[in-house]
Structure 1
Amino acid sequence: MTGRYLYAQFTAEKGKGDTVADLLRGYGDDVSAEPGNVRFDAHRLADDPDSFFVYEEYADDAAFRAHLATSHCAAFNEAFAPHVVGGGSTLTWLNPVS
């Protein structure tokens, strides 16, 4: 398997959904500009706008490790943590079916 695929789920603290959405917009631009990033799609759930789903795809494990080492990743996580339930997201790793 070459690519790395994951999704993150999280819920904004009450009244913080728009703040989280704003943080995600800027972060998505930074992540999408990384050479090893294939896809970064952030969404709000239609029936619960305080809940979010982010799909990420990286070219390989090295690209994902490089992503984690970026200054914008650290800055985002620090800014993001106080605005989401539990201080972070739940990550789920995926393997392609074919």
Structure 2
Amino acid sequence: MKKTLFAEFTAREGAVGEVARLLRDYAREVRAEEGNLAFDVYTKEADPHAFWIFEVYRDENAFKAHLNAPYGPPFNTALAPLIEEDASVLTYLDALD
């Protein structure tokens, strides 16, 4: 079964450009993962500080591999001081069949 989630966070004032740069680099890495099916990054039209990421992985094992990728911790460390939340807010999704 696919693993699907939605991550969201808000860039601090003055940090939008740096957050976008980090996300572009990180997205390239994640999209190259064998088990990644989607890693789509958005900003809210009415509030470009709000970042939303839609992620889909082939299955739970692919998601676990993503969590253990070596580029994840450096990304999260660099992102943490640039966002208002303590970390990305994650919402796990189930598809309606």
- TM more than 0.5: yes
- 1:81 maps to 80
Q: 1: CA distance between counterparts of 2:95 and 2:11?
A: 29
Q: 2: CA distance between counterparts of 1:36 and 1:73?
A: 15
Q: 1: CA distance between counterparts of 2:67 and 2:73?
A: 8
- 1:6 maps to 5
Cα offset, 1:87, TM superposition: 2.9
- 1:24 maps to 23
Q: 1: CA distance between counterparts of 2:59 and 2:74?
A: 23
- 2:66 maps to 67
Structure-1-length-normalised TM-score: 0.96
Identity %: 40
1:48 aligned to 2:47?
yes
What whole-Å deviation, never above 9, does each CA across 1:40-82 have from its counterpart, x for those lacking one?
A: 0001111101111000000000000000101111111111111
- 1:36 maps to 35
**30-39 or 73-82: which moved more?**
73-82
**Could you say what secondary structure the match of 2:95 adopts?**
coil
Q: 2: CA distance between counterparts of 1:68 and 1:82?
A: 20
Ranges of 4+ aligned residues in structure 1 off by more than 3 Å: none
Unpaired segments of 5 or more residues in structure 1?
A: none
Q: 2: CA distance between counterparts of 1:34 and 1:82?
A: 26
Q: 2: CA distance between counterparts of 1:25 and 1:33?
A: 13
**Could you say what secondary structure the match of 1:71 adopts?**
coil
CA RMSD in angstroms comes to: 0.7
Judging by fraction of residues, say which structure has more helix.
1
